[in-house]
Each structure stands twice: as C-alpha cells, then as structure tokens.
Structure 1
Amino acid sequence: MADISALPGFYRIAEADPGRRALIDTDGTVTTYGELLALVNRVSHGLRARGLVAGDVVAGVLPNGVDPVVMMMATGQVGLYYVPVNWHLTDAEIGYILDDCDARIVVTGPSGPAGPPAAASGGTPAEGAPYGAPENVAALAEGQPGTAPDARTSGAVMWYTSGTTGFPKGVRRPLSGKEPEETVPLYTWFMGEVCDLRPGDEIHLVTSPMYHSAPCAHTVFALHLGHTLVIAERFEPETILELVDRHRVSNAMMVPTMFHRMLQLPAEVRERYDVSSLRQVVHTGAACPVAVKKGVMDWWGPVLYEYYGSTESSIAFAVKPHDWLERPGTVGRPVPTFEARILGPDGEELPTGEPGMIYVRSGIGGFEYHKDPAKTAASMRGPWYTPGDIGFMDEDGFLFICDRRTDLIISGGVNIYPAEIEAALLEHPSVADVAVIGVPDEEWGHRVVALVQPVPGPLPAPQDLLDHLGPRIARFKHPRVVEFRDELPRTPTGKLSRSRVREEYLAR
C-alpha cells in the first residue's frame, strides 16, 4: 500500500492508492478507495447538474451502507450542506425536518426505507416544498464523469437536534469556502489528539446508524485517515463481536448501552471471539456507569476513549483510558482549542468542586440554529455555549457530570424529549394532562415513563394511548410504562413540575 500518512484526507488518499479498501458493506461487498472516489465524483457532478450551488441543502433518508457515505463525501467537496435524517421517524416528523432545512434534493435508497411524505411511496411532496420526488445515488451518478469537479469547496453536515424544546432544529456551521484539503488536516489532527486515531491501515467498525452525529462524523474521519470502514447493518451484541474478530477491527464508536448488552452475553459466547485487535473504542452519547466501563476494560483492555459534548459544541471534553482509570467517572478535560467554565445561576464562576452549569467556548468556530436566532441566543452567554448540563471540575480540570439536562431523557445514547411526547399524548381525548419523565434503567440508561391525568370518565387502556402515538412519533420514543394519576404537581405559576413528578415516582 502507498504511504498515506502525509496525505490531506480521503480525496487525495483515493487518488494515490485507488486499490486500498475503503468500505466493507453490510452484505460483505468491498469498495476500494478508487471506486468510492469515482462514485463520489459522479454524484457531485450530478448534484451540480440539478442546479445546486454552494450553500444549498441535500437531505438523505438512508439506512447504513455505501449510500450515506457517498452522499457525505460528495456534498463535502462541492460546498453543500448534508442533512442525515433518521428513517425510523414518522412521515410527519421527516416532513418537518425536510421542510425546515430547505432541502433542495432528498436522497433515499433504491427502494427507499423512508423518504419525503407521500413522495416516498410514489406520491408528490407537500405543496410548496423545495424538493421534488426523491432521488437515489445511482440516479444522481448516472451519465456523470468520474473526474473531480471544478472549483471544489468544503461542505458540512447539518445535524438536527431538539435541544430541550422537543422541536428539531438544524445545527448549522459556516462554510469555509476552502478546498477540503485545506480544512481536513485540522480535524484529523484533532482526532489524533483526542482519540489517538492516526492515518494508516486501520479498520473502523460502524456500529450505529449514520444519521446520528457521532457515528456520521467518525465515518467521515475514518475515511480521511485512510481507514477501512466495516459497516454493521444494526447493533446486535454477538454480531459486533464477530465482525471485530473477522475483520480485525482496530477502532469503533459506541454508546454505553452497547457495552451493557455485550457484557450480558454468556461467558462462553464472549470467549468465542478474539477482540485483541481493538485499540480505540470511542464512546459518547450518555453517561457510562463506572461498573460497566470497568467491566469492558477488564475484558478488552484499556481501550475505551470517552468524550463529552453535544451536536452544537462538538467534542468539548475527552479522557483517555489510563486517565479515566485514575479518576473513574470523569468525562475528561477540555480538548485542544476548547475552554470551559462552571457558572452559577447568576453567571458567577464557581470554585473547583462546586457543581454548576457547564459552559464551553471553541477556538475552531461557532454554530447557529438554522432559522432560529432566538434559540441560538438563548443557548449562549456571550461566546460561551451551554449544553444545559450540570457538573463540576476537580483540581486538575477533569469534569464530572452531576446530571444531564433536567428534562432530557437519554435512552440507549439517543436523546428523547418529553415535551414532544407530551404534546402527542395531549391530542388524545381521554388525556387531561401528562408528564413524561426518564427513570433509571440498567440497560438503556433511562426508560420513558408517562404519567397521565385522565379526563373524568372511564380510564383509557395504556395500549390505546400507545396506539395513538403510533403515527405521531417514532416508536423508540414511546413510553415503556404508562400510569395514571389523579393530579400532577405544578409550580405556583401553573407550570408542570417534572422534578416533583420524578421525585414522587422514584419514591414510590
């Protein structure tokens, strides 16, 4: 293989070493760097042929596989924003994101696991929508040259996140206007500093859906480092171990729920697979119980790298394995280019060891919520951004999280927003009021519980309420438990007091 250590990212690596393995798809199909680059170039030309110019938006409603990889790398060299959309969402939820992001083109799979409402099944998009009927990668590439497009400029991924409001908003970063080869080295250097990931003949396992920000970002980083992607269709504990063993996987990105589920496998199953090739397993997305993390490192060795941040802030704190073992429970120190402060309710900086709101500031660049300057301003204190979490730093600058956002539920590493579920349940004629909370769950981190105050009359069956949610919100957001209450606690101003609801539920 060619020496790619000094090459500035995927496009140059593919030109220098076209026979290098880029991707092993869910069905075992191997795509080389040269083949992937040719397809990426054709799709880039196809997007321009449809009239897209720098700053326009392309949305992808795509399952794990080569297609989302192609779309990220194609938009990434012609100055476009790419919006990955969770294809498990309902048509209404997908339609909201597509309309809000101003997508010019929506890309689905050959048969489309999902897509624009109505258009996914051969109908027409909503009236006034800027996108037409859904496209696919093959159609975009058809008849286009495999050579690099002219006037290449870096694009960006715009992920959708709900913050604490339950209404998704795109996290948009300014485009640099520079060629990818001018911007990629900064990010590959950053991943080396944070996770010890370097260019070379490494194997990266994609364990999670690429519509989530961290798996999506790590997929792109892996290609810019010259690594080979092994893509899992979905997470299944034994399947992941088998892929690590078969392909000699050296690095991966996971969430704590995955560790918990793999530790639950019988000893004879775990011992069946050789995981000694693993060197960096990066985890984020939720707090990892200390016992779970120690259990995995007892099994795999000191290979777990953790970082803490958000879609808005990106990676703000990180900790390497040996530092974590010296300080179990920490999420790390501020990463290069980042500063951090712990502030009290009046904005005063708090002393070491005292919990307060976490604020971070990046030297790399800021963000804005797409079409929502008020929400952007509300999340900032001058140049400082808060993820809304409470924590403290020790005398060496290591951060410890006390609690996640007050109302946010994180289940299996995925953010679930109570306000969205409550709004959907309140549409049911038998529901007078409702509080949705997250309660601790050994496997998932939190499980969703709905406490319902019914209207006078016969109680609805819990299953009736879940059936009501079916067409309104994705199944992974549905409550695991539905219970009824005569009355729900409120503050003196009439606002629902979720903290009291949670305290009373846990006390019972």
Structure 2
Amino acid sequence: MSTHPVPLSAILAHHARQAPSRAALVLEDIAVSYGELDARSNRRARLMAAQGVRRGDFVTVALPNGLEFYETVFSIWKLGAIPNIVAARMARPEMEAILDLVRPRLFVGTPPGPGVPVLSAEAGELDRYSAAALPEAVSPHWKAMTSGGSTGRPKVIVDAAPAMRDPAEGFLCQQPGDTILNPGPLYHNAPFHCITMGMFSGATIVEMGRFDPLRALELIERHEVTWVTMVPTMMQRIWRLGPEVLSRFTLPSLRMMLHMAAPCAPWLKEAWIDWLGAERVWEYYGTTEGTGSTIISGVDWLARRGSVGQVRDGYAMKILDAEGHECPVGQVGEIFFRPDCGVGSTYHYLGSTARRIGEWEAPGDLGSVDEDGYLYLSDRRNDLIISGGANIYPQEVEAALEAHPGVKGSAVIGLPDEEWGARVHAIVQPVEGGAPDEAELLAFVADRLTRYKLPKRIEFTSEPLRDEAGKVRRAALRQARLEEAAEPETADVSRRASSV
C-alpha cells in the first residue's frame, strides 16, 4: 500500500490495481468496481476537456447523489479542475449568486437560466470517448464548497489543499478498505468530505441516494458497513422507529458512528450509546474552512457529558471574550481556531471575508473549556439556524418574505425541533389591508429559496419587528416564544426524559 500522496486524478486506478475486484460504489445493490468507475470517469473527463475544461478551472456540479455524481467529480480531478458542489434543486437566485462568484468553465446539471455553459452529452455519447488513462493532473484546490455568508449571501469556500491524498491515510478513524454508508446529500460538506476521503483510501461506499431510517439499518447489516457519519436528525429518525424495530439490529460490523454538523440532544446521544456502546459513538465538531476541529468518543463523553471534545492535532483553540481577552476555564466566550500551518493556510473565500483577531479565526460559535481543554458549545454568535445539519440564515429568508408586496416587515428565528434540531419560524408584519394568507406567502417564498430554508410556520403580527435603530429583535422574539411554549411542554419533556 502506498505511503505517499497520489494525485486524485490517478487514485481510482491506484485502487483498481491494488484490489481489482473491490467495489468502489454500491448503488441499489449494483456494485461498481474501482476499475469501472475509473474508466467511466476517464470517458467523462475527455468529454469535459472537449468542452474546454482545463487545469485550475471551476466546474459547478448540481447533481443528486448517484453514479453520475461520482463519475463527474472524479472526471473533474482527472483534468486538474476544481469541483464546486451545489444542491441540484437550489433556488435560482441562490444559484445565480454562486455562479457570479465562481464563474465556472462548465456547469453539470440543470442550469438556472440561459448563458450558463452546460455540459452537453446525449445518450451514448460518452461511449465515443476513450476509457484509457489520461495524463496525471493535480488540481490546485481539491474542492470548493458553498455555504451561506453571515448576511445570508452565498459564499464559496475554496480548499487550499491540492488534489493529492495518501491512500494509506484514513480520515477521522476511517481505515483503508472500510465499507462506508453514505446517508447524506453530497452537496453538504460533511458527507462530501467524509465519503470522498473514504474512497481515497479504498473504501467501498454504500450510497443510499436518499435517507430512510429503516433502510439505513438494513444496509448497514446487509453490506457489513464499518463506518458511517450522520447528523442528529438522522439519529432521531432512526430512534423513532421504536424499540421493537431497533431490537432487530445489533449492527455488529459497525465500528464507528460519527455524528456532526449540528448539536445533538444529550438524551438522544445517550440513547445511542446505550444501544451501540460508548466505544462506537463518536462526535466531531469543525469547520468547512479547515481552521480547526475537535473530536470525542462516547466513552469520554459519558465522563464529560455535553462536550464536543479536545482540539485535534494540527490545530490550536482559544476562547475569547468580547474584548479579545482569553476567557478563564468555564467561562463562555467566542471560539477561535488556528491551524498549525498558519492563518489563511487552509482555504480562501469567494464572496466573503473571515472574522479574525490576529492569527485566530472564529467559526461563529460560543463555548467554554474545562480544565483539561474539553470544549462545550453554548450557542451561535449570530442568529444562524441549523436545521437537520444545514445552515439557514434568517436575513436571507426575511429578504424573500419581504419581497412580497403584502409584507411590511419580517423576523425569522429558529425554534427547537426534536427531529430537525431547529425549525424555521417566520413572524410577519403585513401591510394594512393587503395581508397575504400563509399558503400564498409560502408559495411565493418557495420560488426564491431552497426547500430546506422555507419556514415551517408563518405567524402574523401587527407589532413592529424592528427597534428604533432598524434592527430585528430576533433574540427577544425567540425568547418570548420559548417562554410561551415552556409551561405546556414541561410535563411532556419530563415524561420523555424519564423514558430514555
């Protein structure tokens, strides 16, 4: 096995030589070998090259999970280009804003409108291109993921690492040759990063396409999955299957279930630890920017309930107060990271700027550390809503609501949700005499926002939603609704906690 980096343009061929019969992908019980995936992506790379893609170009990929997605991403690396991953069903204004930032050489998927250079391939056209190996090429940046900025405007996070990887080096306790289930959408950074890293070390990826809780458990047992990453929403949906269903699954092959991307309710995590064992349930906290991260095992979590772990090797972490002074143990402040290779060494933004104090950079979260350096998260520094592991910025949703002529003002907040972690709740002040109803307003907003950002409920009010300075009072609005809900929910929460 190699102990030195291999260009991602050649990594499929490397694994095909090492283990010719090993499956790279399993989709709907159909296995695709590393050699077959290599040949298919060679053909697709030549098609892209014929349409002008060269080393260093961005190629925007707007495809659902599936064989075409994997073929496309590896074909981009084969040309030394940079995959820019976006949601296949992203709302047109968001997609156009990202394309304005990236200016891709090619767009793969359904374009948002005319004037976008789209990959054209008729049925059977790929067969006209050779499947032979291409010259090795190394992209200057192995990925460019998309996210919302602090104002809700899209930003692109361009990874500083070139497209090289040591196939013998597992990522986050992955091991060469693992069988990994992918239950998540690949346009999110966490599944994209974890799944491709697994393939770089020769894993077999069992691709779900779309998450279903019972099917996830069935796939883990049928294919003897050893490693999986989930978001707490998925954990919640699996747990809701109930003890009669869960008792049928012991998942003996599963070495590691790693959850990330959103806070996990302590009762839910404890339930999973009781089910699978503390040594198999892990948690990761980190940034798409690669500036810092922490990790914790279930064993350590039981000793430090609520922690997300210690900072990983290669990074440093500080908790700073509002004046930029380091906080003492146990005091909540803003989290700052610094990679050992230096500030700005892991990524650069298109469409945004980093929030830094000297050589330290903030991901936007608040937290504290104990005397052993274990981190405990408290809240977001801003009003970001994390629902099902996806980031939703209130200002973006408010802008879509306020584009309706019947809306005078709006405030969007996140309220607790057992399944999603948080749900989008919109409070709308309508214009006098022209108020839309909830269904009409939701339909209006659905044309402007990606589906997961849509409000779960719209509440109408005649009260002003901004203070004298013109700022939305989101924190006060959220607190008022939490207090209104607290009394009737108290008994239910107590019953639920006692049953876990």
Change (3 A) 1:466 1:281: same
1:479 aligns with 2:455: yes
**Matched residue of 2:353: which SS?**
helix
Query: 1:74 Cα deviation (Å)?
Result: 2.5
Query: 1:453 Cα deviation (Å)?
Result: 0.9
Alignment correspondent of 2:333: 356
Alignment correspondent of 1:410: 386
Q: Match of 2:456, as an amino acid?
A: R
Per the normalisation by structure 2, the TM-score is 0.89
Query: 1:413 Cα deviation (Å)?
Result: 1.0
1:39 and 1:146 in contact (8 A); partners too: no
Distance 2:223 2:276 in 1: 16
Q: Aligned match of 1:244 in 220, 228, 240? A: 220
Alignment correspondent of 1:161: 147
**1:2-13 mapped onto 2 (5 Å cutoff):** 4=1, 6=3, 10-11=11-12, 12-13=14-15
Query: 1:458 Cα deviation (Å)?
Result: 5.2
Distance 1:137 1:363 in 2: 49
Question: Would you say how many aligned residue pairs link Structure 1 and Structure 2?
Answer: 475
Q: Aligned match of 1:366 in 346, 349, 356? A: 346
Q: Aligned match of 1:306 in 270, 280, 283? A: 283
Q: Deviations along 1:333-359, whole A, 9 cap, x unmatched?
A: 111111111111111111111111111
Q: Deviations along 1:410-448, whole A, 9 cap, x unmatched?
A: 111111111111001101111111000001111111111
1:446 aligns with 2:419: no
Alignment correspondent of 2:19: 17
Mean CA deviation greater in 386-395 or 68-77 = 68-77
Change (3 A) 1:315 1:278: farther
Alignment correspondent of 1:122: none
Q: Match of 2:111, as an amino acid?
A: P
Mean CA deviation greater in 485-494 or 455-464 = 485-494
Distance 1:140 1:338 in 2: 44
Alignment correspondent of 1:502: 478
Q: Deviations along 1:307-350, whole A, 9 cap, x unmatched?
A: 11222236511112221221111111111111111111111111
Distance 1:353 1:296 in 2: 27
Q: Deviations along 1:371-420, whole A, 9 cap, x unmatched?
A: x3xx324x222332211110011111111000124311111111111111
**Matched residue of 1:103: which SS?**
coil
**Matched residue of 1:35: which SS?**
helix
Distance 1:72 1:175 in 2: 16
Q: Match of 1:159, as an amino acid?
A: M
Change (3 A) 1:203 1:44: same
**1:47-446 mapped onto 2 (5 Å cutoff):** 47-108=48-109, 115-118=110-113, 125-126=114-115, 129=116, 131-132=117-118, 134=120, 139=125, 142-153=128-139, 155-174=141-160, 176=162, 180=163, 183-185=164-166, 189=169, 191=171, 195-200=172-177, 202-302=178-278, 303-313=280-290, 316-364=293-341, 365-370=345-350, 372=351, 375-377=352-354, 379-446=355-422
Change (3 A) 1:84 1:380: same
Q: Match of 1:362, as an amino acid?
A: P
Distance 1:132 1:262 in 2: 39
Q: What percentage of aligned pairs have identical amino acids?
A: 37
Mean CA deviation greater in 401-410 or 150-159 = 150-159
Distance 2:55 2:396 in 1: 33
Alignment correspondent of 2:494: none
Query: 1:174 Cα deviation (Å)?
Result: 3.3
Q: Deviations along 1:128-159, whole A, 9 cap, x unmatched?
A: x4x24555897567413421324445641100
Q: Match of 1:144, as an amino acid?
A: S
Distance 1:505 1:444 in 2: 18
Distance 2:314 2:307 in 1: 20
Alignment correspondent of 2:492: none
Distance 1:265 1:132 in 2: 42
Query: 1:79 Cα deviation (Å)?
Result: 2.4
**Matched residue of 1:156: which SS?**
coil
Change (3 A) 1:98 1:135: farther
Distance 2:214 2:383 in 1: 33
1:206 and 1:229 in contact (8 A); partners too: yes
Q: Match of 1:240, as an amino acid?
A: A
Change (3 A) 1:415 1:152: closer
Q: Match of 2:142, as an amino acid?
A: A
2:262 and 2:421 in contact (8 A); partners too: yes
Q: Match of 1:437, as an amino acid?
A: I
Distance 1:45 1:17 in 2: 25
Change (3 A) 1:284 1:450: same
Distance 1:257 1:457 in 2: 40
Gaps of 5+ in 2: 485-500
Change (3 A) 1:175 1:252: closer
Mean CA deviation greater in 255-264 or 357-366 = 357-366
1:223 and 1:229 in contact (8 A); partners too: yes
**Matched residue of 1:242: which SS?**
helix
Q: Deviations along 1:159-198, whole A, 9 cap, x unmatched?
A: 011132111110013354xxx5xx413x96472xxx3222
Q: Match of 1:117, as an amino acid?
A: P
Distance 1:440 1:284 in 2: 18
Distance 2:291 2:407 in 1: 39
Distance 1:190 1:384 in 2: 28
Query: 1:5 Cα deviation (Å)?
Result: 7.0
Mean CA deviation greater in 211-220 or 7-16 = 7-16
2:45 and 2:79 in contact (8 A); partners too: yes
